[in-house]
Structure 1
C-alpha cells in the first residue's frame, strides 16, 4: 500500500529540496525514501526510477528559473535585459544550488522541447533582438551567453573566486559590461 500523503509533486518538491541541501548528484530514490521514512518501493507508484526523479526535478527547476528570468527581463531591453536575465540565473544558483545544477540535467529531445528550457531560449533570443543579431549569429550568441553565465556561476559557487580580490560582484559586473559591448559590436561573419 502507498503511504498516505505521498504524491509525485510532493516527492519532486522534496527531491528539489534535497538537491539544494546535499547536491543534485546525491538525489536518489533511496535518499528520498529515507527522507519520508518509507521503503523505496513506496516511491515507485509515483516515479519510475532515478532518471525519472531527476528529470522531474530538472523540469521543476527550469520552470522556476524561467519564471524568475521572465520577471527580471519584463519591460527591459539591451543591457538591462541582459543583466536581468543573468542576475536571475546567478541569484537562483545561489539560493538553490542543487536545483540550478538540475537545470543542466540532460533531457531527451521531446521532454526538452516541452519544457521551460524552450522559454529560456526564447528569452535569450528576445534579449539578442535588442542587439540586432540574426541567425546564425543569434545561436552563437545564445551559446556564448549560456557558457559565460553558467561558467561564472559554477566557478563562483565552487568557491573559486573567494581567495582573491577583487570581489566576485565586481568581476560579474565587468563580465556583463564586456558581454554587452561584445553584443553591440558583434563581429561580422
Structure 2
C-alpha cells in the first residue's frame, strides 16, 4: 500500500506530541495516533516501524524541545542567575508540555538510543556550564547536576500530580528551595 499523500514521519510524530500533551504519554498508541490523523493503523507503518520507534522519536523530540527552551532562557548567563533561569524554564516547559516532559524522562529501548543519550548529555553539559562559577571539581559538579535535576524534577512531578495543596505560593516554594540549594553550592 503506498504512503498516504501528506502523511510523513514528522506528521505522525506531531500527532503523538499532541496526544501526549493532552492525555499523557500512556495515551500515545498506534491506534490513537492513527485516529488523530484520520487513517487506519497500518498506514502509520509506512512512516514508523512501530510504537517503540514512535516513543523513541517522541523522547528525542521532547529532549530537543526541553534543551531549546532552557538554553534560550540562560543565554549568556552562568552561576546563580543562570541556574535560577534554567530551573524556571525547566518548570515552565513541564507545565506547558506535560506529555513531552514525561516523554523526556523515559528511556526507550533500542531505536534512537544513541541520539537520545546525546540529547540528554547536551542538557547536562549546559548545567555544567552554568555551574562553572562555583569552581566545583568535575565529580562534585556532576553530583550537583543530579541534585538540581532531582529538585526540579521532583517539583515538576509533584506539581503535575496536584501534590502542592498547602496555601502557599508554588513559585515562592520553588524560589526558596533553589536559594537553599544554591547557597549550599556556594559553601
State the TM-score, normalized to the length of structure 1: 0.92
Matched residue, 2:117: 113
Q: Which runs of 5+ in 2 are unaligned?
A: none
Structure 1: 5+ residue stretches without partners: none
Q: Secondary structure at the match of 2:137?
A: coil
Q: Which moved more, 1:104-113 or 1:54-63?
A: 104-113
Alignment match, 1:170: 172
State the match for 2:147 in structure 1: 144
Q: Across the two proteins, how many residue pairs are aligned to each other?
A: 183
Provide, for residues 119-166 of structure 1, a one-character-per-residue CA deviation record: whole Å limited to 9, x for no partner. 1011011011121111211111111111111001100111110x2121
> 1:107, 1:143 → 2: CA distance?
20
2:56 is aligned to 55
| Cα deviation 1:91-142 (Å, max 9, x = unaligned) | 011101000001111045523333x222101101101112111121111111
Q: Secondary structure at the match of 1:155?
A: helix
Q: Distance in 2 between matches of 1:105 and 1:87?
A: 21
CA distance in 1, matches of 2:13, 2:137: 38
Q: RMSD value over aligned CA atoms?
A: 1.2
Alignment check: 8 A CA contact 2:59 2:116 kept: no
Task: Give the whole-Å Cα distance in 1 for the aligned partners of 2:108 and 2:45.
Answer: 20
Q: Residue 131 of structure 2 corresponds to which residue in structure 1?
A: 128
Structure 2 counterpart SS, 1:89:
helix
